[in-house]
Structure 1
């Protein structure tokens, strides 16, 4: 049994709060010196940006299960879900899936580390991890019920992790996983649009200039679909650069009037919701397997407002009624949700290294500027991701 396995076995048996060999330069070393804490951005309550707090003494993460790895975070990025979670959105639902040991120890989910994207280096592997080893350069999207990536180290399940594309730096890689896996879940899992089925399909993306929209455009174009993007005029150049075949500027003329001049679509990905839902559903080819999928759902909101039982019931009734209503019109109605997936990132990494997908980054900020990154995202109209450089390039 090698040293890493012995160390992982010891962790599984004793669950100590000390697991990493780290030197003064925060690199990975084989010295016997062990640190018990790490720096991280945490929140101790839900609220506005003032609840973000830099803490140099957050307990080191440990491997609880044999399929987990510990990643040294080189870069992370900010997503809308981070802002929503900071404000308490989805807390009741997420707490049901959070680490019960952490909640039992602290009495709540706090201190909570936000951040979903990570690109970094594998430091330790659980006993059952076969595809990764210490020193591997990896990327991943961490599910929202786990401690996040605005920290020096993070734990992830091996099936959530993939080898980082060689063509990307850590900062570039950290901008991609969460948004592209959300797009993948919507297009592949909900719409059934695989690379084999995409050629010739007409797809409409509403809210195309955000992180999920830009990822969806690139996926669909890599697979041969015809993409129509809906955005404001100042995102026109970006949409063209990403390969959109047709661009609708909703600020110059009614979206409804502009859509009437286009042929019907095989699939629609809606990142906006609200009034766009009914409008979009009129633009699909009926009785042809056409699918509408929205990422704006009442699932977490209902649970927050009504409690888990009543919220789930309300959500189920809402979804069932919409599915039935539109199925009668020959249209499939779906909700899309993020799903962490290392195998999907493997496929996406191939597209990146083949030059068919690229990161869309607006700015890179140092680790000290995490609060500023939240403010920037909340200001809206970003044209790319804000990346947090945790370790210098």
Structure 2
């Protein structure tokens, strides 16, 4: 989403923005800027010049308009975008080592040359210009062929969290519409963007869903289809969950000490799987450097996987995974009415810092969206 008003889809950029129905999503990504006409040379943008707290966000009217450099790029006019927790973390420097490696695989650039930096990953808008090799899109297309039933505001709330949940549930967890009927699923941290999407896709596939959230979010998760709701503030969560039947699949959006007991809630020796989205991968790279960080990550993941395998359950890590094919499946479920966007609050473009603070406070009830126009 980078907080700009126009964007260029570019191969090999770091920020992979999620577009609807996008085969190009695997090779194109974006840098955003303004809603001015294609002939303009500058546009408004929110950028950071250093990592830090919310005060590092800076508004500028003078960000250069993007131009097409490669024949597989398109430029879009951004209508709406959304803020994800990772955007807030990256504002403070989280993932900087990986970000800079992606931009400069040979590590030639000097530290700090990434600034001014724009943040984000989600966007919904309209194609303005296309490179010569672009065949699937044309000027005027709503990128990237978003579900017809959604507005730009609604569409911008879904891609990053939807693809993250889809990666965890389907690609890593192995669940799909054909094998999910009757499976007992537990979602920890169920009221946020990933959790609210995960509930809906699991119910669309006929699973039995238990959601863990606070009491004031219970109405929301029940409305989305959760069969059982556990209030983590009303007592010992582990003991409450132990009173239920064991689970076939657990999606953990919470992390921390949760995994020390959550895996005991799975059915043993039945193929049951625990998938966590809270991993030390980027932290290791920031702390140890790229090579040592990746090595440490591999050792940690391997040892945990092996340990839990011998205890009769599967332990997995999952991450956001860009995929046009997955977005096709998601868009189909949206247009069939089986999945709906869950938006807690919208902000105008002038209030990007307030949107960041909203997400930084946590306790989300769905997504925070920014209307650019």
Q: TM-score range with shorter-chain normalisation? A: 0.7 to 0.9
Contact (CA 8 Å) 2:35, 2:78: kept in 1 or not? no
Match runs of 1:154-169 below 5 Å: 162-169=144-151
Match runs of 1:268-283 below 5 Å: 268-283=250-265
Report the equivalent of 2:152.
Answer: 170
Report the equivalent of 1:355.
Answer: 337
The answer to whether structure 1 residue 75 and structure 2 residue 52 are counterparts is: no
**How far did 1:384 drift?**
2.1
User: CA separation in 2, counterparts of 1:370 and 1:125?
Assistant: 28
**How far did 1:83 drift?**
0.4
The answer to whether structure 1 residue 26 and structure 2 residue 40 are counterparts is: no
Report the equivalent of 1:88.
Answer: 93
Report the equivalent of 1:45.
Answer: 50
Summarize deviations over 1:174-212 as a string: whole Å, max 9, x none. 111111111011111110111212111111000001111
User: CA separation in 2, counterparts of 1:364 and 1:175?
Assistant: 10
**How far did 1:377 drift?**
1.1
Structure whose alpha-carbon radius of gyration is higher: 1
The partner residue of 2:324 within 321, 339, 342 is 342
Change (3 A) 1:248 1:134: same
**How far did 1:126 drift?**
2.7
Report the equivalent of 1:260.
Answer: 242
Match runs of 1:309-324 below 5 Å: 309-324=291-306
Report the equivalent of 1:197.
Answer: 179
User: CA separation in 1, counterparts of 2:281 and 2:134?
Assistant: 34
**How far did 1:27 drift?**
5.2
Summarize deviations over 1:4-47 as a string: whole Å, max 9, x none. xxxx9xx99xxxxxxxxxxx98356xxxxx22222110001100
Secondary structure in structure 2 of the residue aligned to 1:333: strand
Contact (CA 8 Å) 1:292, 1:331: kept in 2 or not? yes
> TM-score, normalised to structure 2's length?
0.87
**How far did 1:232 drift?**
0.8
The partner residue of 1:238 within 209, 220, 243 is 220
User: CA separation in 2, counterparts of 1:109 and 1:311?
Assistant: 21
Contact (CA 8 Å) 2:81, 2:153: kept in 1 or not? yes
For structure 2, the residue ranges without an aligned partner over 5 or more in a row are: 1-7, 12-33
**How far did 1:100 drift?**
7.4
Report the equivalent of 1:112.
Answer: 117
The partner residue of 2:199 within 191, 207, 217 is 217
Secondary structure in structure 2 of the residue aligned to 1:325: helix
The partner residue of 1:56 within 49, 58, 61 is 61
**How far did 1:319 drift?**
0.6
Secondary structure in structure 1 of the residue aligned to 2:102: coil
Report the equivalent of 2:103.
Answer: 98
Contact (CA 8 Å) 1:75, 1:387: kept in 2 or not? yes
For structure 1, the residue ranges without an aligned partner over 5 or more in a row are: 1-7, 13-23, 29-33, 139-161
Change (3 A) 1:126 1:104: farther
Report the equivalent of 1:304.
Answer: 286
Report the equivalent of 1:156.
Answer: none
User: CA separation in 1, counterparts of 2:77 and 2:196?
Assistant: 28
The answer to whether structure 1 residue 287 and structure 2 residue 297 are counterparts is: no
Contact (CA 8 Å) 1:163, 1:346: kept in 2 or not? no
Summarize deviations over 1:44-72 as a string: whole Å, max 9, x none. 11001111001111122233443332221
Contact (CA 8 Å) 1:121, 1:137: kept in 2 or not? yes
Secondary structure in structure 2 of the residue aligned to 1:324: helix
Change (3 A) 1:127 1:106: farther
**How far did 1:125 drift?**
2.1
Secondary structure in structure 1 of the residue aligned to 2:315: strand
